[in-house]
Amino acid sequence: MNFPENLKYTKDHEWVNLENGVATIGITDFAQKELGDIVFVDISSAGRTLAQHEVFGTVEAVKTVSDLFMPLGGEVTEVNKGLDATPESVNSDPYGTGWMVKVKVSNTAEFDALMSAADYKSLIGH
């Protein structure tokens, strides 16, 4: 499994890349493998300001639907529209074309408090 060192992670299995106050967020390689084949991603939070840990959407796999939790508070400025046509890109490239939202972060201290790749690996037992 892949856990890029330059990203931060949450206990809810989201990853975060922060650049110039904008966070790109998706689910981890571990999460997509646990979910199985992803068939639909529903994110209707574009333009909304959400608090840390608030639900920003759902991901639907063949056997289950899971909530997506905001790792950082802020305004959702962009949703990956490519997931409408190819939700399976979350399975094939969770850290690239499978990203989910971009967020203008309200408090960068929340980013600093997220888990490192090593901490996340420990959490999931890898």
For 5-63, how does the pLDDT look when each residue is reduced to its tens digit (9 = 90+)?
A: 999 999 999 999 999 999 999 999 999 999 999 999 999 899 999 999 999 999 999 98
Residue 104: domain span: 8-115
Domain count, the chain: 1
Residue 6 DSSP symbol:
T
Does 65 fall in a domain?
yes
Token pair, residue 62, equals: 């063949």
Q: Which of 80, 95, 15, 87 is nearest to 46 (CA)?
A: 80
Residue pair 114/9 in contact by the 8 Å Cβ criterion: yes
Does 96 fall in a domain?
yes
Domain CATH number, residue 50: 2.40.50.100
Give CA separation, 122 vs 9, 11, 117, 118, 125, in Å.
12, 11, 9, 6, 5
On the question of pLDDT at 124 being above 90, the answer is yes
Does 93 fall in a domain?
yes
pLDDT at 63: 87
pTM of the model: 0.95
